[in-house]
Every structure is written in structure tokens, then in C-alpha cells.
């Protein structure tokens, strides 16, 4: 779940940054000045929130049990790991950019210091709000995130999907690494857990 927060914050900041740049280009009235100051303030708040969520995300990563962690890390070695069919479909179903032709998720680059924010659309995606021609308020964003958390632990489920898929396909890279870890339970045991006999 914290991986969703991290992405949301990174995307929101990016959207604010773009707004700020557009405003700066044509700023001449006092109103624009005030708006710019407000944007700067908002960005500062977001940066703080990002810091906190990133820290939580690191903690969560540290708590992943051994064998799953290896699979997790191996998959993450590919910077576009999240462009897996299941996750892309999930994004499209939520009305994210993967359902349209813009290709934002695939193109999403990590900004320096925000490398954990790469992934599929969140409520903070600027392209999504442009498409809908409206922006969610702070409260509405919170409601959506809350609903997500209530239904399922989104990120955990997504990772499990990716991981199980890697195992079902017999990802050679993962398998090789797993076989090098003595303390890890047998691969067959893992497959049993994932429902593959
Ligand atoms: Zn989007
Ligand atoms: Zn887009
Ligand atoms: Zn997407």
C-alpha cells in the first residue's frame, strides 16, 4: 500500500511542477504571484509526505520474507517491471492511462530522488485529470485511497500477482537466485503455496 502513496505523491508533485512552470511563463498579475506561492507551499507539503511514505515503503520492503524478497528484487531489476499484463490491465480498469493511447505509465521516468514513484496511475496523475477535465480535491483523493485500502492491500496483491506469474512461468533468473539461498524453503513448497502442484 505504501507504494501506492509514494507513487501518488510523486505524480501529484509532478503535476504541480508542470502547473508552476506554465504559470511562471505568463506570470504578470498579482493573482498569478499568489497562486505561485500557494503551489510552492503545496509542493513543500508533498515533499514532506513523500519523505515519510518513502521511509515506510523501505520498512515494508525490509519486512518481506526471504524467498519472496528475492523474487521481488529480481523483478524490480527491470525498471519497467510494472508493465506486466496484470498490472497494466488493472490500471486500465481503474481508468488510468493504460486504458488510453497516451502511454504515460510506460514513459514515466523517475525524477532524481523520486525513483520509487514510477509505476501506474494514481489519483495524482496529471494526464488522467486532464482527460477527465477536472481535479480531485484533497478529500476525494483521500476517499479513493481509503477505499483501495479497504478492499485489498493493493500493492501486496499486485506484487503477489507479479511474483506468482514469474513462478508460474518458471522465471529462470528468479529460480537461479532462489537455488543459491540455503535458508529459503524449497521451491516446490512455494509453488504449493501459490497453488501450483
Ligand atoms: Zn494517468
Ligand atoms: Zn496519460
Ligand atoms: Zn498504467
User: What tens digit of pLDDT does each residue of 88-107 get?
Assistant: 988 998 899 999 999 999 88
Domain count across the chain: 1
Q: 8 C-alpha to center of ligand 3: Å? A: 13
pLDDT for the residue 123: 86
Query: How far apart are the CA of 96 and the centre of ligand 3, in A?
Result: 6
Range of the structural domain that residue 39 is part of: 2-193
Q: What is the pLDDT of residue 32?
A: 79
Q: Distance, CA 127 to ligand 1 centroid (Å)?
A: 5
Q: Give yes or no for residue 128 having a pLDDT over 70.
A: yes
Q: How far is the CA of 124 from the centre of ligand 3 (A)?
A: 13
Q: Are 123 and 133 in contact (CB under 8 A)?
A: no
* 120 alpha carbon, closest ligand: 3
Residue 112: phi and psi, rounded to 5, are -55, 130
Within 10 Å of residue 27's Cβ, how many Cβ atoms?
A: 14
Distance of CA 70 to the CA centre of its chain: 20
182 has a pLDDT exceeding 50: no
Percentage of the residues of the chain whose pLDDT score is greater than 90: 7
Three-state DSSP at 171 gives coil
Q: Which residues contact 63 (CB under 8 A, 6 or more apart)?
A: none
Residue 71: count other Cβ atoms within 10 Å of its Cβ: 23
Which ligand is in closest contact with the Cα of 15?
1
Residue 183: predicted pLDDT: 43
Place of cell 485529470: 129
Output the CA angle 14-80-73, nearest 5 degrees: 110
The 10s digit of each residue's pLDDT in 71-86 is 777 777 777 888 888 8
Q: Is the pLDDT assigned to residue 197 strictly greater than 60?
A: no
Cell numbers for 164:
506468482
Dist CA 35 CA 38 (whole Å): 5
C-alpha 192 – ligand 2 centre gap (Å)? 39
Mean pLDDT score across all residues of the chain: 75
Task: Report residue 191's pLDDT band, with 50, 70 and 90 as the boundaries.
Answer: low
Q: 186 alpha carbon to ligand 3 midpoint, in Å?
A: 34
CA 129, CA 103: separation in Å to the nearest integer? 15
Q: What is the pLDDT of residue 196?
A: 44
The alpha carbon of 61 is separated from its chain's Cα centroid by a whole number of angstroms, namely 14
The more confident residue out of 113 and 120 is 120
- Quick: pLDDT tens for 135-181: 778 788 877 777 776 655 555 656 666 655 555 455 555 566 655 55
What distance in angstroms lies between residue 145's CA and the mean position of ligand 2's atoms?
A: 20
Amino acid at each position: 500500500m505504501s507504494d501506492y502513496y509514494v507513487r501518488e505523491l510523486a505524480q501529484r508533485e509532478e503535476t504541480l511542477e508542470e502547473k508552476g512552470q506554465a504559470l511562471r511563463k505568463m506570470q504578470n498579475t498579482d493573482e498569478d504571484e499568489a497562486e505561485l506561492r500557494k503551489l510552492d507551499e503545496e509542493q513543500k507539503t508533498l515533499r514532506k509526505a513523500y519523505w515519510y511514505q518513502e521511509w515506510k515503503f523501505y520498512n515494508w520492503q525490509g519486512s518481506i520474507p526471504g524467498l519472496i524478497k528475492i523474487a521481488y528484487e529480481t523483478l524490480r531489476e527491470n525498471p519497467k517491471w510494472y508493465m506486466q499484463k496484470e498490472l497494466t490491465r488493472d490500471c486500465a480498469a481503474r481508468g488510468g492511462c493504460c486504458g488510453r493511447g497516451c502511454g504515460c505509465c510506460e514513459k514515466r521516468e523517475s525524477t532524481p530522488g523520486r525513483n520509487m514513484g514510477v509505476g501506474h496511475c494514481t489519483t495524482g496523475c496529471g494526464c488522467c485529470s486532464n482527460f477527465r477535465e477536472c481535479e480531485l480535491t484533497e478529500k476525494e483523493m483521500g476517499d479513493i485511497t481509503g477505499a483501495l485500502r479497504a478492499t485489498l492491500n493493493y500493492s501486496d496483491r499486485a506484487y503477489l500477482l507479479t511474483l506468482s506469474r514469474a513462478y508460474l512461468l518458471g522465471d529462470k533468473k528468479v529460480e537461479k537466485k532462489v537455488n543459491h539461498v540455503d535458508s529459503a524453503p524449497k521451491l516446490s513448497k512455494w509453488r504449493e503455496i501459490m497453488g501450483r502442484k
